[in-house]
Amino acid sequence: MPQNVQAFIFDLDGVVVFTDKYHYLGWKKLADDQGWELDEYLGHQLRGVSRIPALEIILEHNGVELLEEEKHRLADIKNEYYRAFLQDISTNDLYPGAVELIKAVRERGVRTALASASKNAGTVLDALGLTLLFDAVVTGNDISRSKPDPEVFLISAERLGVSPERCLVFEDAYSGIEAAINAGMHAVGVGDRERLPNAPLCVTDYGELALDDLIARGTGTP
């Protein structure tokens, strides 16, 4: 018998706010500086991936090998670019219906968490006035392993005081869905089914969600 979902856990990029374009701009500027190829298709593969693993994807694509020290130096430069681009972030970058969904969930007594691989997630939340919408915030500063490792979601559940099987994760990346499943949680893919074939349920419009049904049943037995 399925148990009620007690917590909704949200990724940040592409789920609550569209910051992925700012990440792409940061990586693109770094790649251009270095004379590397980085198109939108490759940029899509970087979604939901922490800084060093993302850089390694770019390096592999370009057939480049670097020492670890140089990887960290370049990743820090990309972060500086990203933070500069973030100065332009506004409520226009919010995913339509995301804030309303989170508020509706909280009104039903369900706990909420933000779980993001980004070390700048807190900065984004503060800039948009979203921090108080979450009972827990877990960022790249709190984890040592990237998705599809479930660490970020398991820490979120622990901080919420909710068992993994009672958590429902919203994710827009294949690796994020895998991480949620690896954590033993329910999962909703935010995006097209073609891009998220591993998601038990996919949505592009939060208004189409049967919220009470999700809380009662999740998306199936984890």
Among all residues, which ones are annotated catalytic? 11, 13
Those residues with Cβ within 8 angstroms of residue 177's Cβ, 6 or more apart along the chain or in another chain: 169, 171, 187, 189, 196, 198, 199
SS3 77: helix
Could you give the CA distance from residue 108 to residue 61 in angstroms, rounded to a whole number? 46
Q: Greatest CA separation found in the chain?
A: 56
**Helices and strands in the chain: count of H runs, count of E runs:** 9, 6
Give the containing element (helix H, strand E) for 111: strand 111-115
Sign of CA dihedral 51, 54, 55, 56: positive
